[in-house]
């Protein structure tokens, strides 16, 4: 599968816009049994042209996900695209020219037990210059002299801090995921 290929997707028949390999970086090594640089998966960004019966979508649907969500066209889907390619040239041309303003990517979350001082210090980092890697963000935390017990899970459910990192367009710089946004949120659980 490569960019521009017609594929069967979760939502119908579409075209691959781009493919992004994801590799383990410091974030993964810290919270899982991954090795630095290990390939995790391929993410495919795609757009959907029609359903599996050949009904053309009124609006182009853009989506992304693990490459297992897209497969090469089966014979039935190939027949549909061949038929539509001759009978709906204008629609295929319009579809091919459609682009998305949507920012693709994924969010990664870390959790900490709530503490006023830690929350306020982490909140002050929301204005840092982006893009930023997890290592660079960790260095900023170190400069604040915070002794954080960061977890992926297992926090006090009544009150905790969530650090949310947005990995926009699945970009990497020097083998590290770069984030274009980091949010710090105080979550209070339900009574």
Does some domain include residue 1? no
* pLDDT for residue 143: 87
Residues 71 and 112 in one domain: no
Residues 148 and 166 in one domain: yes
By CB atoms closer than 10 A (0-12, 13-18, 19+), residue 101 is: exposed
pLDDT digits (tens, 9 = 90+) for 15-36: 999 999 998 888 788 778 888 8
pLDDT digits (tens, 9 = 90+) for 33-67: 888 888 999 999 999 999 999 999 998 889 998 99
- Record the tokens describing residue 60, joined without a space: 């182009």
Does some domain include residue 173? yes
* pLDDT for residue 153: 58
Domain boundary among 62, 97, 132: 97
Sorting pLDDT into bands at 50, 70 and 90, what band is 73?
A: very high
- Record the tokens describing residue 65, joined without a space: 């996900």
Residues 152 and 90 in one domain: no
Q: What total of structural domains would you count in the chain?
A: 2
Q: Where are the strands (E) in 94-175, listed by range?
A: 105-113, 132-133, 159-168, 172-173
Query: What is the pLDDT of the chain when averaged over all its residues?
Result: 88
* pLDDT for residue 155: 64
User: Cα separation of 184 and 120, whole Å?
Assistant: 9
Statement: residue 72 has pLDDT above 90? yes
* pLDDT for residue 28: 82
Residues 41 and 70 in one domain: yes
Domain boundary among 39, 66, 97: 97
* pLDDT for residue 159: 80
DSSP result, the chain: --TT-EEEETTEEEEEEEEEEEE--HHHHHHSSPPTT-EEEEEEEEEEEE-TT-PEEEEEEEEEEEGGG-EEPPHHHHHHHHHHHHH-HHHHHHHHH-------EEEEEEEEE--HHHHHHHHHGGGS-SSEEHHHHHHHHHHTT-----BSS---TTEEEEEEEEEETT-EETTEEEESEEEEEEEE---
Domain that holds residue 10: 6-97
Does some domain include residue 23? yes
Higher per-residue confidence, 97 vs 147: 97
pLDDT digits (tens, 9 = 90+) for 84-141: 999 999 999 999 999 888 889 989 888 888 888 889 989 988 888 889 998 898 888 8
What global pTM score does this model have? 0.78
Residues 133 and 162 in one domain: yes
Residues 15 and 91 in one domain: yes
* pLDDT for residue 109: 87
Residues 24 and 55 in one domain: yes
Higher per-residue confidence, 149 vs 123: 123
* pLDDT for residue 149: 66
């Amino acid at each position: 599968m490569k960019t521009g290929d017609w594929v069967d997707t979760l939502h119908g028949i579409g075209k691959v816009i781009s493919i992004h390999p994801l590799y383990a970086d410091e974030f993964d090594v810290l919270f899982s049994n991954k090795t630095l640089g290990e390939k995790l998966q391929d993410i495919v960004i795609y757009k959907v042209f029609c359903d599996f019966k050949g009904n053309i979508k009124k609006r182009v649907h853009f989506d992304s996900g693990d490459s297992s969500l897209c497969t090469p066209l089966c014979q039935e889907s190939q027949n549909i695209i061949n038929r539509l390619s001759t009978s709906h040239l204008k629609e295929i041309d319009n579809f091919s020219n459609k682009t998305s303003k949507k920012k693709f990517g994924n969010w990664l979350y870390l959790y900490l037990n709530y503490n006023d001082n830690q929350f306020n210090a982490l909140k002050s980092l929301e204005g840092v210059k982006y893009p930023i890697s997890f290592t660079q963000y960790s260095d900023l935390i170190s400069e604040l002299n915070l002794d954080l017990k960061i977890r992926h899970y297992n926090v006090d459910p009544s009150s905790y801090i969530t650090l949310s990192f947005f990995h926009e367009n699945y970009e990497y710089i020097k083998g590290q995921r770069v984030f274009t946004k980091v949010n710090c949120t105080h979550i209070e659980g339900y009574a």
